[in-house]
Structure 1
Amino acid sequence: MEVHIQLDVFNQAYLPLLDDEEHRYLVLYGGAGSGKSVFAVQRFLVRMLQKELCNILAVRAVAATNRDSTYALFRQVIAKWGLGELFHCADSDLRITCANGNSVIFKGLDDTEKLKSVTFPKGELTEVWIEEASEVSEEEFNQLDIRLRGGGSHKQMVLTFNPVSVLHWLKRRFFDREDPRARTLKTTYRDNAFLDGAYQETLESYRDADPYYYAVYCLGEWGVLGQTIFDAGKVTGRLSRLGERPCRRGEFLFETYYDEACREVLIDQGSIRFLESDSGPAVIYREPEEGVPYVVGGDTAGEGSDYSVGQVVDNVTGEQVCTLRGRMDEDVFAKQLYCLGLYYNGALLSVEANFSSYPIRELERLRYLRQFVRQAEDSYTHRLRDAYGFRTTAVTRPVAIAGLVEVVREHPEWLNDKDTLEEMLTFARNEKGRAEAQAGAHDDCVMALAIAYYSREQQSVFRKKGNVQWTHDMREDYENASPEEKRMLRKRWGEDLLT
C-alpha cells in the first residue's frame, strides 16, 4: 500500500528505530512525557500500511486499561494523520483493521485463556507491544515471547515503560547483561519536540520540589521500591549527572619473585602495569596524583555475595577515584588489591576480615606496606593485640554505614561509580531494622566503600612530597631482605629520611 509519511511527524530521537528489522526486542524506556508510547503507535501504523503481513497484539497487565490508553492512542494518531478511511476501529472488541487486512488486537494479561484464543483474519501474529511493561511479570513476558514464533516473517516485541526499581526483571534482563537481539533507547521529556509547554513546566517544577521524583519519573532513572537508608534523591540525582564519564577499565598485570624453594614471595613493583580491557574488573575514574594519600576498602565475596570489591578513596578530597569489582579467587583478588594499592601511592588497604582472612594474610606475605590495623582479642591469652583487616561487628558495621549515609547526603559529588550508586538504591532496613541489601540485590560495593571511609583516620590527609620516614617494622624487614628485595623495597617505599 503506497503511503508516504513525512519524517517531521516523528520525534528525532526515535527515527533510527523506525525501520529496525534486525532486533527481536525494542526496549523504549525513560521519563514521563518522552513520547515513547506515541512513537510505538506511529511506527506500528506505518508498518501495518507498508508491510504485506503485520499483525500486532497490544497488551497491558489489565485488559480494561487498554481502552483508554493503547486503543485510544491508536485512534488518536489515525485521526491526526487523516487515515480514517484506511483503518476500521471496532470499539466493541477493541480491534483495529487496516484496509490491506493487517490488524491490531488489544488484550490484557489478567485473562490468559482469552489471550490463547487470539487469531488474526490475515495470517499469523508478527509483533507484540507491551505497554507499561514494568507492570508485567517476567513469566508473563516469557509466555508472550514464546507465542511469537513460527512463519517466515520477522518477529518483534516492543516494550515501553518507565523505570521503577533497580531490582526489576527488565533491568536484569535487558540492561545488566548484553543481549544482541535487544535494542534499547532511553528518552525523556527533553526529547519530545511536541510536548505541551505547560506540561513541560509541570515536569520541570519537580526538579527542586521533589528531586527524587524528578530523577525517576521525569528523567527516567532507575528508582527503588521501599525505603533505602541512603538519600534516594541524592543517589538518583548523582546517577543522572554521571553521563559518559571518562574512565579507564582493565586489570593489573605483574611478575613475582620466587625463593630457593620456588615459592612465590614478592611482586616485582617495577613489573606492575595496567592493561586496558572492556571486561577488566578495575575502573579508574581519576588517576593517582603524586603525593596524595589514598584509602582502599575491600569486601571479599562471601555468603550471598558474588563479587570481590575494592573501593579507592582520595583521602584529601574524599572522592571515589577507582573501583575494583569482579568474580575472582581470593588469591587473585589479593594480588589485584596489592597492585591497586601500589598504583595509588602505597594506599592504606582495609580489607574486611569476617568471611575469610586469606586476602589479608596474602597481602602480609607479599609484604604490602600498609594495612588497616584493628584491636583484636587473642584467642589464647584473651589480651588485646593489633591485627590487620577490618572486622564487621555489631559496633563497627552501623558506624561505617552511617558514615557512608552522611557522605551520600552531604557530598554526593564524591561518588563516581554507577554500580555503587545503584546498590545504594536497594540497601534498606529489613523488618528487624538491620540495614542490608534487599533480596536479589548485592551490597559488595556499598560495604567496601563504607569500609574505605571508616578507615580514613589511619591514613594521612596531607599530600606527601620527597622521601619518607620508615617505621621500625619497615627497617627490620629491610635488614632481613636480600639485596634484590632491598632494591625493590627502596623503590616501593622511597628512601628513608633517617638513613
Structure 2
Amino acid sequence: MSARIDLSGLPNITNDVYVPYYYNVSRYLVLYGGAGSGKSVFVAQKIVFRLLTESNHRFLVVRKVEKTLRDSARDEIIGAIKSMGVDHLFHYSESPTGEMTIKCPNNSTIIFRGLDNKEKMKSIKDVTAIWIEEASELTLDDFTQLDLRLRGEHLTNYKQIILSFNPISSTHWLKVRFFDNKDANATILHTTYMDNRFIDSEYVRILESLKITNKTYYDIYALGKWGVLKGLIYTDYKIIDSLPKDAEIHRYGLDFGFNHPMALTEIMIDGNNLYIDEVFYRSEATTSEMIRTVKQTHPHIMSILGRADAAEPDRIKELRSAGFNVTKAIKNVAAGIDKVKSYNIYVTKNSTNIINEFNLYSWKLDKADNPLDEPIKLNDDAMDSIRYAVFTEKPLQIKPTLNTHAFF
C-alpha cells in the first residue's frame, strides 16, 4: 500500500521541529509544552503516517472522558488524513452505542475510547500503539493500566505510547514519572507556539499579551513550563459523579463562540451548593449544530431557563425559534465571579473542559504580582457560561432624590 502513496510532501504540512519524530520508536514519546504548539496535530499526522506505512494496526486513542474525543483527537486525525490527500483510503464509522472507529484497507484500525467507560475499555485487545491525548487528565493508575495493555510481540509494528499535554502543576504525577525520574525508554520533546509556523497571528498576539497581564500564566500556559499558577480565581471545588436529581434552582448558561469554544453548562443550586455539568463545549460549531446535538443528548435542557451571551441577540433568537427557553444574560464579570465563589462548588467528573478552565482561569496581575479585579480573557468560555447561569441580579438603579434642605 505504501508504494502507491506519495508522502514526499509530508514535511510541507508538518512543523519542522516534529519531522524527525515520525521515525521515533521509543516506548514512550512524551510531547509537552505550551498552548498552540501543534502537538496534537503532529500526533494525528504520525498516526496516519504509521497506518499508511505499516499494517495490521490497532491504534487506541484515549482521553479521560470519551465524549471529548469526537471534537478533539478524532477531528485532528480526520484533518491529518485530508491534509495528506488520502481521504479515499479511510472509512469513518460510529456505532449506535457511540463507538468511533477509523479503518484503513491494510487491516489497520483506530479505536477511540474514554477511560470513563470501563466496559468498553475491557473489550479492547491486541493494541499495537496508544495515543493519550491531554494526558494530564489521567491519574497514574489510569496510565499504568494503559501501559499494561501494550504488550506482546508484533512482527511489523513497534509499540509506542504517545502522551501529549500542557503542563500545569509541578506536583503532577507526569512530572514525577518522566521528568524527575529519567526513563531510558522515553523520548521527551518540549514545544511552544513559537515552533508552530501554521499558527495564526491573532492567537500569537493573545498569548504574548500574557507577558504583561500575568507573567506566571505566560510561563506555564504559553511556554509550557512546570509551575504553580498565580492569581487563580477558583481555587476550591470538588469532583462528583453526577448532578443531583433535584435542587431549588435549575438553569443553564451559554457562551457563544466559533473560533473559541461554544460552551453550554447546566447548573443546579441547592442552598449554598452549586452543582455544574458540561453539556456542550466545541470550537468551530454553529448554533444550529449545537441545537441539534443538545436535542439529541440533553433534551431536558430546552425546557429549563437558560441565560445566553447578550451580545448575540440573533443567536438567542435562533435558540428561541428552536424551542429553547432562553433569555439574555446579565454581564457583570466581577459581581458574577463573586456570586459563583459564594457557593460550595461541585463539578461532575465528565466535565473535563470545565475542570481544565477552573485550573487555568486567573486574574490579571499588577507589576507586584498582586491580582487585579479583571480576569485574563483566555480559557474562560465555560467560566462565562457558568457565570451567566448563576448571576441573575440586575444592577440597583438609584433614582436621584430632591434635596429639600437646599430650600431652607
Q: TM-score, normalised by structure 1?
A: 0.44
SS at match of 1:18: helix
Matched residue type, 2:121 = L
Alignment of 1:453-464 (within 5 A): none
2:112 paired residue number: 106
Aligned-pair CA distance for 1:13: 0.7
State the distance in 2 between where 1:50 and 1:86 align: 13
Aligned-pair CA distance for 1:125: 1.2
User: Does the aligned pair in 2 maintain the 1:107–1:115 contact within 8 Å?
Assistant: yes
Residue-by-residue CA offset, 1:381-440 (whole Å, 9 max, x unaligned): xxxxxxxxxxxxxxxxxxxxxxxxxxxx79xxxxxxxxxxxxxxxxxxxxxxxxxxxxxx
Q: Based on CA coordinates, which of the two structures has the bigger radius of gyration?
A: 1
Aligned-pair CA distance for 1:91: 3.4
SS at match of 1:85: helix
Aligned-pair CA distance for 1:28: 0.1
1:70 paired residue number: 73
1:8 paired residue number: 12
2:54 paired residue number: 51
1:205 aligned residue (204, 209, 226): 209
State the distance in 2 between where 1:208 and 1:225 align: 15
Residue-by-residue CA offset, 1:172-229 (whole Å, 9 max, x unaligned): 010011110000000000000111111111111111122121111100011226879x
**Equivalenced residues, count:** 226
Alignment of 1:5-404 (within 5 A): 5=7, 6=9, 7-21=11-25, 23-92=26-95, 93-119=99-125, 124-152=126-154, 153-224=157-228
Change over 3 Å in CA distance of 1:213–1:226 after alignment to 2? closer
Matched residue type, 1:108 = G
Structure 2 unaligned segments of length 5 or more: list them: 233-367, 370-408
State the distance in 1 between where 2:33 and 2:230 align: 20
User: Does the aligned pair in 2 maintain the 1:207–1:214 contact within 8 Å?
Assistant: yes
User: Does the aligned pair in 1 maintain the 2:220–2:229 contact within 8 Å?
Assistant: no
State the distance in 1 between where 2:199 and 2:94 align: 28
State the distance in 1 between where 2:84 and 2:132 align: 23
State the distance in 1 between where 2:87 and 2:214 align: 42
Residue-by-residue CA offset, 1:2-30 (whole Å, 9 max, x unaligned): 22222221111112211012x10000000
Structure 1 unaligned segments of length 5 or more: list them: 229-408, 411-499
Note the aligned Cα RMSD (angstroms): 1.9
Q: TM-score, normalised by structure 2?
A: 0.53
1:458 paired residue number: none
Change over 3 Å in CA distance of 1:156–1:74 after alignment to 2? same
SS at match of 2:112: strand
User: Does the aligned pair in 2 maintain the 1:48–1:55 contact within 8 Å?
Assistant: no
State the distance in 1 between where 2:178 and 2:16 align: 23
State the distance in 1 between where 2:172 and 2:229 align: 10
User: Does the aligned pair in 2 maintain the 1:27–1:160 contact within 8 Å?
Assistant: yes
State the distance in 2 between where 1:81 and 1:8 align: 10
SS at match of 1:175: helix
State the distance in 1 between where 2:55 and 2:111 align: 17
Change over 3 Å in CA distance of 1:142–1:11 after alignment to 2? same
User: Does the aligned pair in 2 maintain the 1:42–1:77 contact within 8 Å?
Assistant: yes
Q: Percent identity?
A: 46
2:356 paired residue number: none
Residue-by-residue CA offset, 1:424-469 (whole Å, 9 max, x unaligned): xxxxxxxxxxxxxxxxxxxxxxxxxxxxxxxxxxxxxxxxxxxxxx
User: Does the aligned pair in 2 maintain the 1:24–1:182 contact within 8 Å?
Assistant: yes
Matched residue type, 2:94 = D
